[in-house]
Amino acid sequence: MREQLPELLASLVRLNSVNPALVPGGAGETEIADFILAWLRGHGISAELDVAAPGRPSVIARVRGSGGGRALLLNAHLDTVGLGEMTGALTPTIRGGRMYGRGTYDMKAGLAACLLALLDASAMALRGDVILTAVADEEHASLGTQSVLNRVTADAAIVTEPTGLQLCVAHKGFTWHEITTDGQAAHGSRPDLGRDAIAAMGRVLVELETLGRELTARPTHPLLGHGSLHASLISGGQELSSYPERCTLQLERRTLPGETPQDVEAELDRVLERLAADPDFRAQHRLLLAREPLSVPQDAPIVRLLSAQATRVLGQAPAHIGLSFWMDSALLAAAGIPTVVFGPDGAGAHASEEWVDLASAERCREILSATIAEFCA
């Protein structure tokens, strides 16, 4: 008897897997990883844990082929954001063909589709391996995917983040930066001694606003549009009666395929160099974090094959889309694995109401299984 997706998904949703890096005291991935490990082994599928940090396990599972075929990697994350004010967050309910609950959409339905597709693969006579990485910490620092990539590789990968059964072949990357302007602390009544670090940062902000407008004037990416820039956090000063000695700004730059972290660093350094023409202006800049964009050729074998199987199941060709947010798919691609993102339909990622369309999750499983059968044959 074909195992049912709604029941498996409900079991996953009942398991609290809130990322503790986002919510202090969050449950983390241990319980859900143990559940998946037991489920896989109970179905005769080889699986093991990969622990990226204490209490942050991922699961690596493999259906081994007979040899000589292509390997396909399925990737889904275990963690969720916090429960917030969501009513019945860990009590999955079904209404009108939708399942509601934390993680249904982002992304335990995609995870359930992967698990069942792996189960389907175990009954196929394949030459290539089918690998599942069910990973920790995607919602924060991607510890899980970075760790499992030390142990697995494949000829292609599918990340089952929700895409409404469309093929995501590109998404933006991002870089985080910190700029600090220096002043001179002095009593507020002594402008002859003080230098205002916050006012100096105001000049930086004006330049960044100009740069942001410039980004929108550059040629657009056909699926992603323009890069962007915004000031995220700012702090400075000591007290009302003193000239501020230091002001710190943290900002985010969303990047397009072809833009490197080094490009963005140089872009921001040029801003500060222009301002440094004033000898009283002093500032430092450092890169805090960089995540590459994703871009997979639309004629890549995995894209063509997945698109063909989706067309067969859905009765029409799925759109090829780009998404503005970052995903672990970029890490897989950076490791040399051609990667596409494909998952079910729904809404409410990180929101107080979250749901997934169960019929779309079933179709996702069917399309994944059909893709496995052809890619790994």
- Equal CATH topology for 5-171+293-375 and 173-291: no
Mutual angle of helices 5-13 and 358-375, in 10-degree steps: 110
Rounded average pLDDT over 337-343: 98
pLDDT in tens, 5-42: 999 999 999 999 999 999 999 999 999 999 999 999 99
This prediction has a pTM of 0.93
Task: Please give the pLDDT value at position 306.
Answer: 98
Residue ranges of domains in the chain: 5-171+293-375, 173-291
Radius of gyration of the chain (CA): 24
Task: Please give the pLDDT value at position 279.
Answer: 94
227: alpha, beta or left? (left if phi > 0; alpha if psi -120 to 50): beta
C-beta neighbour count of 144 within 10 angstroms:
31
Confidence class for position 3, pLDDT limits 50, 70, 90: confident
Rounded average pLDDT over 87-104: 97
Please state, in angstroms and as integers, the Cα–Cα distance from residue 109 to each residue in 67, 112, 118, 227, 362, following that order: 31, 5, 14, 30, 9
φ, ψ of residue 275 to 5 degrees: the values are -70, -30
Please state, in angstroms and as integers, the Cα–Cα distance from residue 27 to each residue in 19, 31, 59, 134, following that order: 7, 8, 17, 16
Q: Decide if 118 contacts 44 (C-beta within 8 A).
A: no
φ, ψ of residue 264 to 5 degrees: the values are -70, -40
**CATH T-level fold of 5-171+293-375:** Aminopeptidase (3.40.630)
Q: Which amino acid is at 146?
A: Q
Return d(Cα 134, Cα 103) in angstroms, integer: 14
φ, ψ of residue 276 to 5 degrees: the values are -70, -5
Residue 95: pLDDT above 70?
yes
Q: Which CATH class is domain 173-291?
A: alpha beta
Residue 1: pLDDT above 80?
no
